[in-house]
């Protein structure tokens, strides 16, 4: 899907791809999901900024236990007694207590409400949105220049953390737990669902970011090279970060008197705010410096990601309100998202974040991704897509990509979606089951995002030229007449190329099986 979105956006130089009018709602549904993600993603940047500020203290505040945390707490800072202990009780690191008790002020449930926002997080959230707004007003191209430096900075910090994490007692057990396959999990649909949605977030697939950024590339830009580099580096970085995290978790298990890594694994957003601070606390030389570097890295990367998401929303609004100034749209987005984001900095905020992440983001993205593949692979056609790639780059698409785009990827994703819904279990957070009313609200949010397909699909049929309802529906499945490159000269060349390709076809396919074969292998 990564090369598909990149290719189509470069081809027409637009962020709104009218490849099939009846599926126009796919784009708007994705923007809706992106807006939701942007509201809670900024909250994570607010937490990061608070950690960054507190990294300047003479003693890192999460490195030691507080009296009110009791005997269940174990210092995250290097302490010989942490390792050589005869106790058998499983203890919790002070870094985890600090995150849940001090930063989040997390509640055990939200049955009695979510509470009031934290003033410190509300302030850092405001700072985060001020930075995002400033970049949005300045423009995407200017922010891209800084990425040359910022792209290398995280790897320096991660490499230092890697060395430190692997030298901790018990780190090897954690890394082994991370790398050792659990083959029985392959039959669990939730694992595949989590894997697909993680790839969506990691590569920004089906959220509009790729389409928006790719529209700034030149027409003959080497898509194949970009896709190879980006996906390879993304996989490498994920493995790199995973080894660091599980090395730290192995040490936590060692110090907590347990051999089961699962007892210390955190699967929510707190992982980065528990494992990494715990590792930094164990630095004997200037832990404050490494803490500042790490959280500065996290803040910069997070801001970059959120700028991409906010830019997608801004682009759609600019297309609708063409006479409105950029700064007005940017400030409006920031204010609305900030107000919504205050929900996530309450004591019950993580419950809502987990809730919105499933119903408002990952589920919508998966469903719309399937329809996007259908629109591109079978309505526009894999054959047409491959012809476009050849026109742009002079490269013939391999059979592997043709089969993946046309069959494997859409069928596999549809199977995971059906299997997940068939075996659906109510969403939980830290063992808490949400009230029935919240589940109803959640499915309404998902329905609104996915329902953009129906809303814009009906509108596409209605706006078609005169004819019977069947003729209108048929027309709505076709791209616009001037579909192709935005540049007039290139468009003329493109249309001539497509005409020649149609002329060179040996015979007209009439049978369904012939059309299917021709679409993939033609």
- Residue set of the binding site for Na(+): 202, 301, 305
Instruction: Give me 294's structure tokens.
Output: 């790490």
Residue 363 CB-density burial (10 A; 0-12 exposed, 13-18 middle, 19+ buried): buried
Task: Quote the CA–CA distance of 300 and 309 in Å, as a whole number.
Answer: 15
CA 353 to chain centre: 14
Residue 227 CB-density burial (10 A; 0-12 exposed, 13-18 middle, 19+ buried): middle
- Residue set of the binding site: 202, 301, 305
Phi, psi (degrees; rounded to nearest 5) at 292: -60, -45
CA 60 to chain centre: 30
Task: Please list, in sequence order, all residues whose beta carbon lies within 8 angstroms of the beta carbon of residue 247, skipping any fewer than 6 positions away.
Answer: 162, 165, 166, 168, 171, 172, 174, 175, 279
Task: Please list, in sequence order, all residues whose beta carbon lies within 8 angstroms of the beta carbon of residue 217, skipping any fewer than 6 positions away.
Answer: 6, 10
Query: Per-residue b/e over 310-323, b at no fewer than 16 CB within 10 Å?
Result: bbbbbbbbbeeeee
Evaluated on CA atoms 352, 358, 364, 369, the torsion sign reads positive
How many other β-carbons are positioned within 10 Å of the β-carbon of residue 208?
27
Helix (H, G, I), strand (E, B) or coil at 425: coil
Task: Please list, in sequence order, all residues whose beta carbon lies within 8 angstroms of the beta carbon of residue 58, skipping any fewer than 6 positions away.
Answer: 288
Q: Quick one: three-class SS letters along 91-111?
A: CEEHHHHHHHHHHCCCCCCCC
Phi, psi (degrees; rounded to nearest 5) at 120: -70, -40
Residue 80 CB-density burial (10 A; 0-12 exposed, 13-18 middle, 19+ buried): exposed
Region of 505 on the Ramachandran plot (φ > 0 left; ψ -120 to 50 alpha; else beta): beta
Residue 10 CB-density burial (10 A; 0-12 exposed, 13-18 middle, 19+ buried): buried
Asked if residue 312 lies in contact with residue 212, where contact means CB atoms within 8 angstroms, the answer is yes
Provide the angle, in degrees to the nearest 10, between the axes of the packed helices 153-166 and 140-150: 40
Instruction: Give me 10's structure tokens.
Output: 């470069």
Phi, psi (degrees; rounded to nearest 5) at 74: -130, 135
């Amino acid at each position: 899907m990564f090369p598909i979105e990149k290719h189509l956006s470069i081809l027409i130089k637009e962020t709104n791809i009218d490849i099939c009018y009846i599926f126009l709602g796919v784009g708007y549904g994705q923007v809706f999901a992106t807006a939701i993600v942007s509201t809670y993603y900024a909250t994570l940047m607010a937490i990061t900024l608070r950690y960054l500020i507190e990294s300047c203290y003479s003693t890192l505040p999460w490195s030691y236990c507080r009296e009110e945390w009791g005997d269940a707490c174990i210092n995250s800072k290097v302490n010989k007694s942490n390792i050589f202990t005869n106790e058998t009780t499983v203890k919790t690191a002070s870094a985890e207590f600090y995150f849940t008790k001090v930063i989040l002020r997390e509640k055990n449930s939200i049955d009695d409400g979510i509470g009031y926002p934290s003033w410190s997080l509300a302030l850092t959230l405001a700072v985060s949105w001020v930075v995002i707004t400033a970049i949005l007003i300045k423009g995407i191209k200017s922010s891209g220049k800084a990425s040359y430096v910022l792209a290398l900075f995280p790897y320096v910090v991660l490499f230092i953390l890697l060395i430190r994490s692997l030298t901790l007692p018990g780190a090897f057990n954690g890394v082994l737990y991370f790398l050792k396959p659990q083959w029985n999990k392959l039959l669990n649909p939730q694992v595949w669902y989590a894997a697909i949605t993680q790839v969506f977030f990691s590569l920004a697939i089906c959220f509009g970011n790729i389409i928006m950024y790719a529209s700034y590339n030149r027409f003959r830009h080497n898509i194949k090279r970009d896709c190879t580099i980006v996906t390879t580096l993304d996989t490498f970085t994920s493995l790199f970060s995973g080894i660091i995290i599980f090395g730290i978790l192995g040490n936590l298990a060692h110090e907590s008197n347990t051999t089961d890594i699962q007892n210390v694994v955190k699967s929510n957003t707190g992982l980065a705010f528990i494992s990494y601070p715990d590792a930094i606390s164990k630095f004997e030389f200037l832990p404050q410096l490494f803490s500042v570097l790490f959280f500065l890295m996290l803040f910069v990367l997070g801001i970059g990601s959120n700028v991409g998401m906010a830019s997608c929303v801004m682009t759609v609004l600019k297309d609708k309100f063409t006479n409105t100034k950029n700064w007005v749209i940017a400030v409006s987005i920031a204010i609305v998202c900030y107000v919504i984001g205050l929900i996530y900095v309450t004591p019950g905020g993580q419950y809502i974040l987990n809730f919105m992440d499933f119903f408002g983001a990952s589920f919508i993205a998966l469903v719309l991704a399937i329809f996007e593949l259908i629109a591109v692979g079978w309505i526009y056609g894999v054959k047409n897509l491959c012809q476009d790639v050849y026109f742009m780059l002079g490269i013939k698409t391999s059979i592997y990509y043709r089969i993946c785009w046309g069959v494997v990827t859409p069928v596999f994703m549809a199977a995971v979606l059906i299997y997940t819904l068939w075996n659906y279990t109510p969403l939980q957070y830290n063992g808490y089951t949400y009230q029935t009313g919240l589940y109803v609200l959640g499915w309404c949010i998902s329905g609104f995002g996915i329902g953009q397909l129906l809303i814009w699909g009906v509108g596409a049929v209605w706006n078609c030229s005169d004819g019977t309802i069947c003729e209108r529906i048929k027309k709505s499945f076709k791209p616009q007449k001037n579909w192709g490159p935005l540049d007039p000269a290139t468009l003329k060349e493109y249309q001539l190329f497509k005409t020649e390709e149609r002329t060179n076809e040996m015979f007209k396919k009439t049978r369904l099986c012939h059309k299917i074969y021709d679409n993939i292998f033609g």
